[in-house]
Amino acid sequence: MADQQTDSSSASTAGTLPRVFSLRDHAALWFSLGVGLLVMQVGAYLVPAMGTQAALLAIVVGSIVGAGLLAWTAQIACERGLSSAGLMSITLGRHFARLPVVLNIVQLLGWTAFELVVMRDGSAAIVKQLSGFEAAWVPYAATLLWGGVLLALARGSMLTLVRRFIGRYGLPLVIASLLWLSWQFIGVAQTQGFEAFWNRPGSGGMSTIAAVDLVMAMPISWLPLVADYARHGTSGSSTRRGTWLGYALANTWCYGLGVLVVSVSQPGADLVTTLLLAQGGLIALGLILIDEMDNAYGDVHSGAVSLNFLSPRRSLAGWGMVMALASTGAAMVLPMHALEPFLLMLSSIFVPLFGVVISQLTGRTTGHDTAIAWGPALVWVAGIATFHLSPKVLPEFGAAIPALVLTLALGSLLRLQAGTGKSVEPAGQA
């Protein structure tokens, strides 16, 4: 396919990179990527620590701010025609940037495997609900099935998948599923007494800022990936607006649905089981599971772009298949819930990193054409330290917000002191 031939970072330059994603394409892609069972489950953590109204306020604020940071990075990537690895390179220096690029590949392998585990568990629950059948081999079979689908997608063109499938078919189906589930559980809340649900107080176990930090966790977890898609945008403005709109709406909806479901369910009830027991929940959950596949594919494609950046001799499709196979194997044998803290630790590295990227590249067309850019590198290290120390020193402020504030502020000061800097051509860094 023509898309497949041009959809390679090794061949992409400022002139040959395919620029085909409109505002609608970006909005459809990021709405779809923002929907997932994992998002709903995290949303459920907000209650009963917070009251309903306070939780929903934190969801709206966190979604707007988090998606705004994602959109800001997307615009920078689109205007420069650079992948995430390319942005890291001109921010931290050619050689030093290889460290976060490799760490990003590791975390993408882990998160892809985690997505496969989420789909595996959901599939096993559906099989049990339909037939009552439960066996030890069912989760392994489900993992291989979803892994096979992921491998097939990795062989194809990302541009074709986004424009022809997600935008035309996937998005309407997942919106219909969310509408149906929302309608069902709003009906349950009304039956139980909607006023009591709406005015329910919290136990006080989570501050508003900490809740906003938790809501922001999902959009900012995509910061190391967004550039790999945004660079195909037709303009920086439409890329920013489409990414912001799509992800903010999806994040708000899924977090809110998680709060609603856990609020009207029996204490300790499993979210997947609760969704299945709703009228039409089986079909809705099945469609959401199918949509979960694009989250796994998003990780695989971005990992392939980073691998291609390090070793351009292999095509994006080739690296994508390697990522898909490795992730499927990891999902089969690794204790994913035990690995979750490790994956979250890796994620903490990239929140401050992209605070540095945003602060260094906003409003300038230049970067650092050096082996190591010491100033931005030291700001990044300070941001990582802040991310891990803040919850211990100032737990009410969370982790991501203090790290972002620090790196954005220090990175901006560095940029102002450096002035125009030395020009770096995007070609070859994409």
CATH of the domain at 247: 1.10.4160.10
Amino acid at 127: V
Helix (H) or strand (E) holding 208: helix 208-221
Q: Could you tell me the residue range of the domain that residue 257 belongs to?
A: 2-418
- Mean per-residue pLDDT, 227-240: 96
Task: Tell me, yes or no, whether 12 lies in a domain.
Answer: yes
Separation of alpha carbons 100 and 271, rounded Å: 35
pLDDT at 14 over 50: no
Task: Tell me, yes or no, whether 428 lies in a domain.
Answer: no
pLDDT at 64 over 80: yes
Mapping DSSP onto H, E and C, the string for 333-375 reads HCCHHHHHHHHHHHHHHHHHHHHHHHHHHCCCCCCCCCCCCHH
Q: Phi, psi at residue 168, to the nearest 5°?
A: -90, -35
Q: What is the pLDDT of residues 348-380, one digit of tens each?
A: 899 999 999 999 998 766 666 788 999 999 999
pLDDT at 104: 94
Task: Tell me, yes or no, whether 430 lies in a domain.
Answer: no
Task: Tell me, yes or no, whether 427 lies in a domain.
Answer: no
Task: Tell me, yes or no, whether 423 lies in a domain.
Answer: no
Task: Tell me, yes or no, whether 53 lies in a domain.
Answer: yes
- Mean per-residue pLDDT, 9-38: 79
Q: What is the pLDDT of residues 280-298, one digit of tens each?
A: 878 888 888 888 888 899 9
**% of the chain exceeding 90 in pLDDT:** 57
Task: Tell me, yes or no, whether 57 lies in a domain.
Answer: yes
Task: Tell me, yes or no, whether 429 lies in a domain.
Answer: no
Closest alpha carbon to 230 in 38, 2, 403, 33: 33
- The structural domain count of the chain equals 1
